Amino acid sequence: MNFIKEEDEKRNDYILQKDKTTKGVTKFVILALAICVIGVVASGLYFKWF
């Protein structure tokens, strides 16, 4: 089983595909996780000082 399938490959045993949708969703998930981490750090600093 392959992890990533190229756009032009003809296979069915893959987990992710290199296409526009997968790349867009990956960027969105990474951005959402980064915002969550920044929010946790910021709230930790805020409540530590007050």
* Model pLDDT, residue 38: 98
pLDDT at 25: 94
* Whether the model pTM is above 0.75: no
The backbone torsions φ and ψ at residue 11, rounded to the nearest 5 degrees and listed phi first, read -140, 165
| pLDDT on residue 2 | 76
E strand or H helix that includes residue 14: strand 14-17
To which residue do tokens 């969703």 refer?
Answer: 25
Rounded (5°) CA angle 38-42-44: 120
What was the pLDDT predicted at 9? 76
pLDDT per position as a tens digit, 1-27 = 777 777 777 877 777 888 899 899 999
